[in-house]
Structure 1
């Protein structure tokens, strides 16, 4: 990864100055702050979203730039700039391996130290949790937003999900219908690929208590976010393991509009190392 020339990076524009594809099909977007003295941040978006809609349009880049940080954001396979990637056959471990590789490469090029802050939202929070738990030496701070406290994907009807993405046949199973069909709300989706990414993640059961991050953790949830209901348990797990954690609940916000909240942003900026 090449360094940018020293320039005005108080505002970060999309697309990023540096973009590349990982072995498993993530598209990495890097805004490097030359001579940064604070930990870089890795951003991992949610299901059926992407870097542009999860982080750029909701106003996350400039506050991070104002703190003098480099920012690395990824489009997951089948999403955003990786919409052309068919995630069929991928595993959660494939995604985690690429996130680990990106993070390791990122901190190696940073003057601020040897660790990174990781911020995941919704499905991205699940990946961020697992990355932080597996690599405590690398993750200095963890933020999980809109995070389910349990495995919401167990029991998905894979064939019904694929039929919906391919032919528009609405799944009869309430769980599958409620989870997969939200992908249609985002413009320019490659629905078969978006659904395959979800199914790839669903194949690996998720129990947040099985491997708890050692990093200081911030859990953020909208008070009206049914998906993140009970996410206080995540903070409790971290505290029970002997590490600092806290929950911030944003009044009046749901799973979508909490991302634009000033309360959310201020809590994250305060929590970052």
Structure 2
């Protein structure tokens, strides 16, 4: 189904309602809800605990339409859209799990949905804004004209984006929108401290201790794997289930 925000949302309904909060699962950049949460077995495992599980695709990803402007892909706008997804499901309080970009957006959810966010797992979170170093004009030229960016990092992002074929232009607008609203964590406004989970070989999360140190009571856990392997590994799935079980 599609939310009124335009986001495509997969909803998992438990066989038996355990009267627990719904869970929102937010995927990473260049991925989608199916790959991050359905194929890994996490959505089904959470539904098996008696929870309603909401798995949206972010703009330009999966089955959701591309943003028409970069502003539609800014972090505050995306966080507000995710809060609307929960509203439309009829959930008041909810727990949330995000990976990579999804973790960054979950960090913003307590402000978008004040007083409603319960337990949270932030997986694969980069302590800095990964898109801040992207040369956005060069990225757009790479997508629309095939011009190779001179900057190696922008070239790498362009390669990732172009691998999505006709969705590349929308993903480039996502990069521009996220770059304009960079992740700069200063405080956590949620009622419950987050649990941060990183892969032991994930170079994208180096320095995450600084983010964990911003929040009294925040917990940092390490699981096997690099940025991709940590998400797909059994240890991450067990950690999510353990944290949300309380």
- Establish whether TM, by shorter chain, passes 0.5: yes
SS of match in other structure, 2:96: strand
Name 2:202's counterpart in structure 1: 225
Name 1:156's counterpart in structure 2: 134
Rate the CA distance shift 1:165–1:210 in 2: closer, same or farther, 3 A: farther
Where do 4+ consecutive residues of structure 1 move more than 4 Å?
none
1:208 aligns with 2:185: yes
1:32 aligns with 2:32: no
Provide the TM-score with structure 2 as the length reference: 0.89
Higher mean alpha-carbon deviation, 151-160 vs 79-88, is at 79-88
Give the CA deviation at 1:26: 2.0
CA deviation vs aligned residue, 1:183-203 (integer Å, no higher than 9, x gap): 355x66611111211211111
CA distance in 1, matches of 2:129, 2:95: 24
SS of match in other structure, 2:237: helix
Q: Check whether the contact 1:78–1:197 (CA below 8 A) recurs between aligned residues.
A: yes
Higher mean alpha-carbon deviation, 256-265 vs 162-171, is at 162-171
Structural mapping, 1:230-245, within 5 Å: 230-239=207-216, 244-245=217-218
2:28 to 37, 46, 58: 46
Q: Which runs of 5+ in 1 are unaligned?
A: 1-18
Name 2:75's counterpart in structure 1: 92
1:175 aligns with 2:158: no
- Structure with more of its chain in helix, by fraction: 2
Q: Check whether the contact 1:26–1:77 (CA below 8 A) recurs between aligned residues.
A: yes
Q: Check whether the contact 1:22–1:28 (CA below 8 A) recurs between aligned residues.
A: no
Q: Which runs of 5+ in 2 are unaligned?
A: none
Q: Check whether the contact 2:198–2:205 (CA below 8 A) recurs between aligned residues.
A: yes
1:81 aligns with 2:68: no
- CA root-mean-square deviation: 2.2
Higher mean alpha-carbon deviation, 130-139 vs 142-151, is at 130-139
SS of match in other structure, 2:213: helix
CA distance in 2, matches of 1:236, 1:133: 20
Q: Check whether the contact 1:47–1:198 (CA below 8 A) recurs between aligned residues.
A: no
2:101 to 109, 114, 123: 123
Q: Check whether the contact 1:45–1:120 (CA below 8 A) recurs between aligned residues.
A: yes
1:261 aligns with 2:244: no
Give the CA deviation at 1:134: 4.5
